[in-house]
Structure 1
């Protein structure tokens, strides 16, 4: 359904107000929606709500939609990763009217008399068009996940058949289907949604963890960092570390996500990670090794210190099998200041400049401060925007350059 010119003009007129009040609107939206539909807390990540990340991410999307309401195709690149997350979490068509009702209500609540009937009507029309885009894309994703070989609908119980401590803070869980059937294929870099019921907690908890192994195995592997436990943060990671053991089961989705390695490219590639951001990179690196790639491959990892650096020996072993691979790593706070490494302190522009070329395809993953530090550096080195590919752990927010902390 196309929007009328009148609706487009009205939505455009609200852009300055949204720029100021967008987070207030999305904060009111989530508060009111969860008050009226607490069952949706079984879907949404409560930690992201507490941090304000989900509110900020939605605010950015609403603002972008308003600015581009006459060219919604400009917003589509942001729709795809969100649709992947929705499919993994089980967001369905019937949820969109609930969201629409409370979003319009929040606009009216925050803007008061300035939100005239004409403005609310225009936003209702625009929301329905945008919602239909999401619903259509997600319907195709649900269909693909259910109909692919080894796929399933919703969540499936997977059994933990091995549990391996990779560092002081990261533990891997190896998962297979309880019925012994094959697991679906996935693209290196994708993640699965897991859902756990923690004793004493009212609602289910959902988290999305990158698969840290290559496709083609008869198992999935997720590698989970233990976060500091302070409600509601760290609840799931600590539960997995402390209470999920070999023989237990975890509900999981079919793999999702669009931060994936393009295995058909031949240009040099750099896998750049900070902290637990190395998990999708391990999947990408293992895939390149399995395919005996002759691309120039640079694996760059930054961690706080040696004890939290996971998969170090695995990365060395895989790099050694490549025809044209190199491993670069460093620590911001090394335990052994005189140890053998490529850099000490934060990963910087000089190191990137020494090891990358302008035609290098860069995959970047890590905490938000890491991304805010690295991505502008890559741009400054002349690497094209379409060759800087990055993944957020959590809701996508706007990236503005700032020092990594």
Structure 2
């Protein structure tokens, strides 16, 4: 527990963190990776270059300061981050390194404004926050290891099948190299792949949603091939997986993790996705189909066109055999072939008016995943159409962000 004076000092820094938070986190990462380059084996290099990781950390530090006297208010965010840390292999010994460089960054950015009193308060506060993460992550490591078929770090798997699903998405099926059973998972969860790319100095770890239902003897992920370059390296891992990883190859994988999961509900369900965001939605749909769909379910997927749209037939197989499920495919720019085959339900962007007509029950529970601009647009459209904010759940591929409500003019 923190003393009253420390809490007051931390809260007094909230306006400063709001203004200088990203400068502090950018400086923090630069200092830490300079002094501890081995940590580049854990952190996502692409998110660093894009600035998403720095922004996410700045938001977390700001929230911690704002709610330092009631940290339970940010428990959902803390839990989400802890799941990612466990999946990446973050350990207790990493926290002192992070704390040291966070304090150094605060000093460097704030200069004389970083008084001895402020530095002492933040050092105490970081200790409390770090202990909370370490404790929560230990429980997640223990839980992963104690599950039937589970493990607590990375485990070697074989690529048993590789299937091209569209022009840009390929599925990979993984089975444990030791032939033993694997842990079950909740629909919507992800796994981390530890990839050693020839010629690369550091290991790359990427998290991918599981795209099939639980209860199988394998894990399936479905990866979009990103067009990366030397200047924009986020395509390094996806290109390696698509171009180099072959059936029979081995790869290290962490146990399933994540808080964005299909919950128990009697409400109607909407599974809304854009692009490769279809993957966790597909896992949820398969699980609903396997366990018996009890309520009306709408599966809405947006893609540019049929060439890049993956799993259309897989979804149709489920909808054709279950009257409670209705699928809508929305193409931004359908091809001539799409139009000839009538392969889609809507042309152009999804609007609030279209959503309102497609889903009559505005009390539906909505699960959403896709590119950030897509989710932001859909979040605004859902609210405008009358869906309840508390019923909208979403997952980001990468560092967490916050979707905003549309601002009235």
State the TM-score bracket (shorter-chain normalisation). Answer: over 0.9
Q: Distance in 2 between matches of 1:7 and 1:24?
A: 23
2:380·2:406 contact (CA, 8 Å) conserved in 1?
Answer: no
Look up the match of 1:46. 45
1:159·1:175 contact (CA, 8 Å) conserved in 2?
Answer: yes
1:70-106 Cα offsets, whole Å, 9 max, x none, are 2211111111111110000000111111100000110
Q: Distance in 1 between matches of 2:355 and 2:120?
A: 50
The CA deviation at 1:384 is: 2.5
| 2:295 is the counterpart of 1:302 | no
Q: Distance in 2 between matches of 1:61 and 1:379?
A: 25
Q: Distance in 2 between matches of 1:100 and 1:383?
A: 41
Q: Distance in 2 between matches of 1:321 and 1:334?
A: 26
The CA deviation at 1:401 is: 5.2
| 2:401 is the counterpart of 1:400 | no
The CA deviation at 1:13 is: 1.0
Q: Distance in 2 between matches of 1:338 and 1:194?
A: 38
The residue matched to 2:152 in structure 1 has which SS? Answer: coil
Kindly report which structure 2 residues correspond to 1:210-359, keeping only aligned pairs within 5 A, or say none.
210-231=209-230, 232-262=233-263, 264-336=264-336, 338-339=339-340, 340=342, 341-356=344-359, 357-359=361-363
TM-score normalised over the length of structure 2 = 0.96
Q: Distance in 2 between matches of 1:399 and 1:115?
A: 32
The residue matched to 2:205 in structure 1 has which SS? Answer: strand
2:211·2:282 contact (CA, 8 Å) conserved in 1?
Answer: yes
Kindly report which structure 2 residues correspond to 1:6-405, keeping only aligned pairs within 5 A, or say none.
6-231=5-230, 232-262=233-263, 264-336=264-336, 338-339=339-340, 340=342, 341-356=344-359, 357-400=361-404
Of 164-173 and 228-237, more deviation after overlay is shown by 228-237
2:332·2:349 contact (CA, 8 Å) conserved in 1?
Answer: yes
Q: Distance in 2 between matches of 1:73 and 1:282?
A: 32
1:283-309 Cα offsets, whole Å, 9 max, x none, are 000001111213101000000111000
The residue matched to 2:170 in structure 1 has which SS? Answer: strand
Q: Distance in 1 between matches of 2:75 and 2:130?
A: 12
The CA deviation at 1:350 is: 1.3
Q: Distance in 1 between matches of 2:132 and 2:319?
A: 42
Task: Identify unmatched segments of 5+ residues in structure 1.
Answer: none
1:15·1:67 contact (CA, 8 Å) conserved in 2?
Answer: yes
Q: Distance in 2 between matches of 1:127 and 1:399?
A: 27
Of 67-76 and 89-98, more deviation after overlay is shown by 67-76
Q: Distance in 2 between matches of 1:206 and 1:237?
A: 11
Aligned length: 401
1:293·1:323 contact (CA, 8 Å) conserved in 2?
Answer: no
Task: Identify unmatched segments of 5+ residues in structure 2.
Answer: none
The residue matched to 1:181 in structure 2 has which SS? Answer: coil
Inter-CA distance 402–54: structure 2 relative to 1 (3 Å threshold): farther
Q: Distance in 2 between matches of 1:155 and 1:35?
A: 26
Root-mean-square deviation (CA, aligned residues, Å) is 1.3
1:294·1:322 contact (CA, 8 Å) conserved in 2?
Answer: no
2:195·2:205 contact (CA, 8 Å) conserved in 1?
Answer: yes
